[in-house]
Every structure is written in C-alpha cells, then in structure tokens.
Amino acid sequence: MNKSTKIKTISLIFLLSFYPLFSQHDISITPPKNIKSIVLKPIKPNSYAPIIKLGELLELSFDDINGEERFYSYKIEHCDYNWQRSNLSSTEYMTSFETDRIRDYENSFNTLQFYTHYNLKIPNQNNKIKKSGNYIISILDEDDQVIFTRRFIIYQEKVTVGVTAHRSSDPKSIREKQSVQFVINHQNLLLNNPNEEIKVDIYQNSDWNSVIKNLKPKYVRGTQLMYNYVDEISFWAGNEYLYFDTKEIRNATNNIAKTRLNNIFNTYLYYTEARGKKPYSFYPDVNGNFVLRTIDTDDVSLEGDYSFVHFALEYKENTNNDNIYIYGAFNDWKITEENKLTYNKQTNLYQATLLLKQGFYNYTYVAVNDNMQLNTHAIEGSYYQTENNYSVLVYYRKYGERYDQVIGFGSASSEILQN
C-alpha cells in the first residue's frame, strides 16, 4: 500500500467513526406534530426497509391526530445517486402524473385518541413506476405545501451481489466493529469503465444516516467487481436495540413499569442505564424497526390507540455535555426536538415523552455533539457480537445516460460473522 492509499484509508476510517447528519437536510422534511405513525415498507412479511424490486408493492400509511379528514396528496420524484432530483420528467419514470390524491382514509373508532388514518400503495391503479432508482415521496396538504417526505429505492436485478459480514481484524477495534465485503457479478452487463459507471451504497440496519458511499472495487476480475477490503468498509457494531411492546396498552408488560390513564394512556418504561461499559448481552431485536400491533382489536390501523410513552436514561458519563436522543425507525432515524431527552436534576435521569401508537418498538440512545455528528456507540456501547443487517445497493450510469439506475441489491446478517 503506497503512502497516498494509506492516507485515503485513514481518512475513510476516521469519517466512519460518526454519522454526519447534515447530508440529509436537503431532502428530509420532518412531519408536523399532528402527523404520527408513518410507515413506508414493502407489502411482504418481515420486511421493513423501503427497498423493493421494480413491480413490487410499497405501502405508505400515517395518522393525523387532528382527525379532520383533510385532503392530502402525494408527489413522487425520481432522484440521482446523491438524492438530488434527476433530469427525468415525471412521464419518463411514471405512467401518469407525479402528483395525485390519497383516496384511502378513514377515522379511528373505539380509541381515546381520535385520528384519521391514511393509506397509499405504490404503485397503484393511477400511478405505476417504470424505472429503477432513488425516489422521494412527499405528502402535500390542501395548499400543496409539503408536510413530510420519505425516501424509497427501486432496483432491478441486472447484476448479482454477494455480501458477507466480518469481525474487524484491526486490533484497535476488533471488539467493537464489523466490516463488510461484497462481490458484484455482472455476467449479463457489459461495463466499459466500472470505476466510473458503477457506484455503491452500503447501509447498516436500513438507517439512512449510516450510509457509506462512493466505494471503488479493489479488484476487477473478468465479470466480477471485488470489494474485499480488509477493514476499510467498517461500521461500529453497536448494541442490540432496546424495546418495549404496548400491544396490551392497559397493562404493564416486559420493560414497562406501569400504565396510567389520564385522558389518554400513559406508558412508563423502566429507566435504563447506559450500557457502554457493561458486558454484551444478546437478545433478539428487529434492528431498530417497529411493528404496529394490538392483541385486543381486529384492525390496528383504525383501532390501535395511542399512549404517551415516558423514557428515562441514566447516563453519568456525559462529560462532553452532548445532546441525547431516542433513535430508531419510528421517526425515520431523524434527530428532532421531539425525540430529544432533557436532564432532570431531581431524578438525575435524562427523560423524554413521545406520543406513540400501540406496537412493538425498537430504539436506542445516541449522542449528538455541537457539530451535529451522531455517535451511535457512546451511550450504548459497541460489541462485535451484535446482530446487524447490511444492505448493498448497486447504481449504474452508462456514459451518456441521464439518470442513475439501481441494478442490484444484496444483504447479509452479522449473526454469523465470517473471519
């Protein structure tokens, strides 16, 4: 390895120590307080990330707790590799107009918290998507103002992607990090200049902030692009996610200390201690995702109730006075004032309260410094044994083309680490 390569490698490893948040600000619009329980996922079991093959179905749903049966519409925009709007017109990537009404909505019933539930399937009878790529869906109000956005990815299988997860071999991080290697096989696709035509994104647990971009193949062998770096593509392994389950909203269950009824339900979680200096302990999770569910009603969409969920964290090691946030897919991995914890001098705990619909929720606690760098391991620790899912998306732009295709998708779990 020459001196220039060493410098690039060191720089990459340093940058991956934190998740920078500023890169998402230009496309991400946080919903107002009346919009809750936004879910965007494939219509198939045990799938959470909004990544589908061209022709498959995504479902978007959300609740408006103002309950006024407002008219919402949606807008779908095709984006380039860097999530900026592409040069394609809507008629090139959709069969109809990019904007349409949301027609499926209904009021809740038998709930203390009244709301209107909205549902949309993509593609649908009015709009079908014709091209792969990155997409942004925006929800608009009656005045055509964007109230929130979500991103999704559509791919075609023009190449195959083999992905493996490994324990870090770097002695300095061998107990804390995991590395990823992968191979792109393109037998049916002629590449003239793979270093320029192919780009790759890697995500940990479908967390948009975790992305590693712009990697070049280490070797090109025939119809294979090999990204078998030793430790250059590495992630903090983190810890298993914390969880709670409010499917029985009236009763205290595992991780829930008590419930109280005061106009609507209040769910008080047991306070948790920062786990960064504790031994690793395995328990199954859904990698930061959540599932809306209830055991005493037929339809959680309309009969699932809401509760104020009270979080409490003991974190005595916050010597940098970082801001602490509750973090997970429940709010699209965003850092907002709503999920920020406040230090209570009387209890010596960091506390926050979120209004959440009945369901099973994964979450963790993260620290954010004054430069808006997100640290996922300062509070909860990082252990190489942690089970994570890694997703690799392959982008292709042939010379002279006007948009980035997504031509391959592969994933791997770190449940069984390769050495």
pLDDT of the chain along its 419 residues, tens only? 444 444 444 344 434 446 655 444 457 899 999 999 999 999 988 899 999 999 999 999 999 999 888 999 999 999 999 999 999 999 999 998 788 999 999 999 999 999 999 999 999 988 899 999 999 999 999 999 999 999 999 999 999 999 999 999 899 999 999 999 999 999 999 999 999 999 999 999 999 999 999 899 999 999 999 999 988 899 999 999 999 999 999 988 889 999 999 999 999 999 999 999 999 999 899 999 999 999 988 899 999 999 999 999 999 988 888 999 999 999 999 999 999 999 999 999 999 999 999 999 999 999 999 999 999 999 999 999 999 999 999 999 998 899 999 999 999 999 988 77
Beta bridge partners of residue 199, listed in sequence order:
395
- Indicate the residue type of 106: E
Of 371, 383, 375, 374, whose CA–CA distance to 414 is shortest?
383
Integer angstrom CA distances of residue 295 from 37, 156, 249, 267, 325: 18, 38, 9, 17, 30
Structural element, H or E, at residue 303:
helix 300-303
What pLDDT is stored for residue 19 in this prediction?
A: 64
* Cα–Cα dist 244/270, whole Å: 10
pTM of the model: 0.92
What pLDDT is stored for residue 126 in this prediction?
A: 86
Of 106, 108, 138, 104, whose CA–CA distance to 121 is shortest?
104
Of 172, 228, 227, whose CA–CA distance to 200 is shortest?
227
What pLDDT is stored for residue 319 in this prediction?
A: 81
* Cα–Cα dist 11/409, whole Å: 27
Rama region for 321: left / alpha / beta (φ>0; ψ in -120 to 50; rest): left
Q: Under 8 Å CB-to-CB from 121, ≥6 apart: which residues?
A: 43, 57, 58, 59, 60
* Cα–Cα dist 319/336, whole Å: 22
What pLDDT is stored for residue 254 in this prediction?
A: 85
CA 81, 85, 87, 91 torsion-angle sign: positive
What pLDDT is stored for residue 25 in this prediction?
A: 41
User: What domains appear along the chain, each with residue ranges and CATH number?
Assistant: 31-155 (2.60.40.10), 157-237+387-413 (2.60.40), 242-375 (2.60.40)
What pLDDT is stored for residue 125 in this prediction?
A: 87
